[in-house]
Amino acid sequence: MINNFSLILLIVTLCSGIIWVMNFFKWSEKKAINISEEIKIIPAKSFEKSTDFISSIFPLLLVVFCFRSFLYEPFQIPSGSMMPTLLVGDFILVKKFSYAIKNPITLNTLIKISKPKRGDIAVFKYPNNPKINYIKRIVSMPGDRITYNSYSKTIQINPECGSKKKCNNLLQITYTNIEPSSFIQIFNKNNNSFYKLSKEKEDVNVGFHLNTRKETIGKLTHDILLTTETVDQTDLYYQQDDQPLGSWIVPEGQYFVMGDNRDNSSDSRYWGFVPEEYFIGKAVCIWMSLKKQEGMWPTGIRSGRFGIIK
C-alpha cells in the first residue's frame, strides 16, 4: 500500500535537497555556466536564480515532510457522518504518532506506541479500498461482542467475549433522553445536505429535524444524532459467521467503528472491522472550518468551531 502524495512530496524534497547541497558547496555556479555554454538557451544568471529558489525552499519542504509524515497531518471532513462532533468543511489535525510511527511511503509500522482506545475519533484506511481515508469513532475493542438495536438505536457491549469466558459481563452504556437538535437534513438527488438552524424550534419547510442524545460508554460521553424518519437497512449489515444479524464479535487486532451521525454513516455495521495497521492517527483538533455542503463550494468561515476535538 503506497501513499502516493507522500511519495511525491519525498521526491520533491530530495530533489530540492540535492540542489541545496550543490549550492552549499558552490557547485551550482560552475554547473550553470557549463549548461549555458553547451545548450545556449538558459543564461547562467537565470539558471543560478532558479537553483537558488529551489534550494531556498528545501528547508521548508523538509519541515513539511517530517511534520506531515510523523507528527500531524491535516484532513478535511468531506461528509456528515461524524455530526455533530465534526461538520462538513471542518479542517482537522490528526496526530500521526498516537498509535505508531510508520513509514510514510509504505505505511508499514516502524515503532508501535499505543493501542487505539475506545472513544477515539480516528482516521484510517477504508478496509474495502485502502486508497480512501475514513474517520469514525472507535466503539468496540478486540474481543468485544457488540450488538446494535436498530429500533432503539442503542448499542450493547460484552467485553472479552471473544474468549467465551466472560460473555455475560456488560460494559456500562447509558443514554440521555432523545431531544430535537439544531440540525436539519434535506434529501437531494445526488447527496444529503445538513443545515444548522439558528433556533432549535425554528420551522422547517423542507427536510426534517435530526434528534440528539448523549451516549456514555464507560466514562466517555459524546453527542450523537438520530432520525425517526429513516430505518436502518439491516439487510445490508455485515453478517459475521455464527453471529445473529446486528451482532458482531470483534476479532483480535481489529476494531469496530461507528459514526456519531448514526443514521447517516457507512461504518462497521455495514462493512466490518478495521485492522489495527490501517489506523493513520487520532483526530485532535479543528484548526479551520468552512461553511459548506458535501460536494459544494464553501460560502464562508465558521469562526466558532476552532479547538480541541472531544
Q: Which residues are catalytic?
A: 81, 136
DSSP 8-state assignment for residue 302: -
Q: Are 135 and 86 in contact (CB under 8 A)?
A: yes
| CA–CA dist 110, 128 (Å, integer) | 24
Go through 270-290 and write b for each residue having 16 or more CB atoms within 10 A of its CB, e for each that does not.
Answer: ebbbbebbbbbbbbbebeebb
Do the beta carbons of residue 85 and residue 65 sit within 8 Å? no
Cell of 61: 519542504
Nearest to 164 by CA among 184, 181, 144, 180: 144
DSSP 3-44: -HHHHHHHHHHHHHHHHHHHHHTT-HHHHHHHHHHHHSSS-H
Closest CA to 92 of 233, 301, 289: 289
CA-nearest of 269, 234, 248 to 157 is 248
* Residue of 124, 133, 162, 144 whose CA lies nearest to 217: 144
User: Do residues 272 and 238 lie in contact, with contact meaning Cβ atoms separated by under 8 Å?
Assistant: yes
